[in-house]
Amino acid sequence: MSLTVAVSGASGYAGGEVLRLLSTHPEVTIGSITAHSNAGQRLGSLQPHLHSLADRVLEDTTAEVLAGHDVVFLALPHGASAEIAAQLPADTLVIDAGADHRLESADAWQQFYGSEHAGHWPYGLPELPGRREHLRGARRIAVPGCYPTSSLLALSPGYSAGLLQPEDVVIVAASGTSGAGKSTKPHLLGSEVMGGMSPYGVGGGHRHTPEIEQGLSWAAGESVQVSFTPTLAPMARGILTTATAKLRPGVTEAQVRQAYSDAYADEEFVHLLPEGQWPATKSVLGSNHAVLQLAVDAHAGRVIVSAAIDNLTKGTAGGAVQSMNIALGLAENAGLAHQGVTP
């Protein structure tokens, strides 16, 4: 099989990462690649690491350019992807890296994004209980946000096994600056970010809060409340998430460890590390893998789970390609053979 695939937002970080992965995908021919202000530019001038595609020219992001491909990846600001997606044929597989179609709740969308809700598509985190089935044969897929990917991988096994209480969940995550995209923002200047760390979106206002609550509530089968705080870290890529939740009375560390080990035993891309080894962002950079470790704090009655991903790979483009593979019945790991890059 050879699929023709279009990538929009190809001048940005997420679109560039989709292209990096697709360029080694055995079933894919890369068709149109599109941009907005950079339409007409040579890809190599904007994504100098994509050597084999350097001479390709970016086209305008329009439905006419994107239609006619088997698969379309949208790596656009939220709002722009819903507008384009609505104009694409129903039998085209459309995979949206942006937020427009992640939330089921129109009220949560309105509260956190302040615009009209575009609807809900199958959620592209195959390791979340029940989600892989929704992706098989899907023609529309919403790729999770990067913080939700790491947070849901960190806590969903504890919830699906019924071991954790639904209130008082606390998640603090540090992200590399590529999470914010390529466009210039004063707080992302090198002189602001280098050599220090600071939180943002503190106090429950970050738009990934309802997405994390949604995924944990699916896993728990009841409503889960989360306090989420993101932090900007002086690195280009990677997320390190620390997630803690209260254990239900009588739950032991052995039970929790068994639940995580069972949940991820057959997952190629998610690894509960051997006891005593803690996640490091460097170990997953450039790969679709996630690494986890947990401990029970008996004094506080809480489980603490640490998770590391690459925000651009498992946190966006890798999850998107993995979901494409599932939707089309391809090997789930096609195009995703990359190991981490370190040091």
Ligand X SMILES: NC(=O)C1=CN([C@@H]2O[C@H](COP(=O)(O)OP(=O)(O)OC[C@H]3O[C@@H](n4cnc5c(N)ncnc54)[C@H](OP(=O)(O)O)[C@@H]3O)[C@@H](O)[C@H]2O)C=CC1
Residues 133-152 that bind ligand X (CB under 6 A): 145-146
Q: Which of 158, 230, 279, 319 binds ligand X2W (CB under 6 A)?
A: 230
182 is in the binding site of which of ligand X, ligand X2W, none (Cβ under 5 to 8 A by kind)? ligand X
Q: How far is the CB of 10 from ligand X (least distance, A)?
A: 6
CA-to-CA distance for 47 and 30, rounded, in angstroms?
Answer: 15
Q: Which of 61, 175, 229, 281 binds ligand X2W (CB under 6 A)?
A: 175
Phi, psi of 317 (to 5 degrees): -70, -40
Q: Which of 1, 91, 114, 183 binds ligand X (CB under 6 A)?
A: 183
HEC profile of 113-129: HCCCCCCCCCECCCCCC
Number of residues that bind ligand X (CB under 6 A): 30
Q: Could you say whether residue 98 binds ligand X (CB under 6 A)?
A: yes
Q: Which run of H or E residues covers position 228? A: strand 226-232
Binding mask 49-88 for ligand X2W (x = CB under 6 A): -----------------------------x----------
Q: Which of 266, 267, 292 is nearest to 277 (CA)?
A: 292
Q: Which of 210, 279, 315, 318 binds ligand X (CB under 6 A)?
A: 315
Residues in contact with 254: Cβ distance below 8 Å, sequence separation at least 6, in sequence order: none
Q: Could you say whether residue 179 binds ligand X2W (CB under 6 A)?
A: yes
Stretch that binds ligand X, among 32-40, 204-212, 242-250, 277-285 (CB under 6 A): 32-40
Residues in contact with 153: Cβ distance below 8 Å, sequence separation at least 6, in sequence order: 125, 127, 128, 270, 290, 292, 307, 309
CA-to-CA distance for 24 and 4, rounded, in angstroms?
Answer: 14
CA-to-CA distance for 246 and 244, rounded, in angstroms?
Answer: 7
Query: Nearer to ligand X2W by C-beta: 16 or 98?
Result: 98
230 is in the binding site of which of ligand X2W, ligand X, none (Cβ under 5 to 8 A by kind)? ligand X2W
Residues 99-118 that bind ligand X2W (CB under 6 A): 99
Q: How far is the CB of 174 from ligand X (least distance, A)?
A: 13
* DSSP β-ladder status, 93-96 and 71-74: parallel
Query: Nearer to ligand X2W by C-beta: 166 or 230?
Result: 230
What is the end-to-end Cα distance of the chain in Å, rounded?
Answer: 37
- Determine the Cα angle at 16 with ends 13 and 21, to 5°: 125
Q: Give the catalytic positions in this structure.
A: 146
Contact of 332 with 268, CB cutoff 8 Å: yes
- Determine the Cα angle at 237 with ends 44 and 321, to 5°: 70
Residues 135-174 that bind ligand X2W (CB under 6 A): 145-146
232 is in the binding site of which of ligand X, ligand X2W, none (Cβ under 5 to 8 A by kind)? ligand X2W
- Any alpha helices (H) in 196-270, and if so which ranges? 209-220, 253-264
Q: Which of 307, 306, 304, 301 is nearest to 252 (CA)?
A: 301
Q: How far is the CB of 266 from ligand X (least distance, A)?
A: 26
User: Is residue 7 helix, strand or coil?
Assistant: strand
241 is in the binding site of which of ligand X, ligand X2W, none (Cβ under 5 to 8 A by kind)? none
Stretch that binds ligand X, among 72-80, 119-127, 158-166, 269-277 (CB under 6 A): 72-80
Residues near ligand X (CB under 6 A) are 9, 11-15, 35-38, 61, 75-78, 80, 97-99, 145-146, 178-179, 181-183, 311-312, 315-316
Residues near ligand X2W (CB under 6 A) are 78, 98-99, 145-146, 175, 179-180, 230, 232
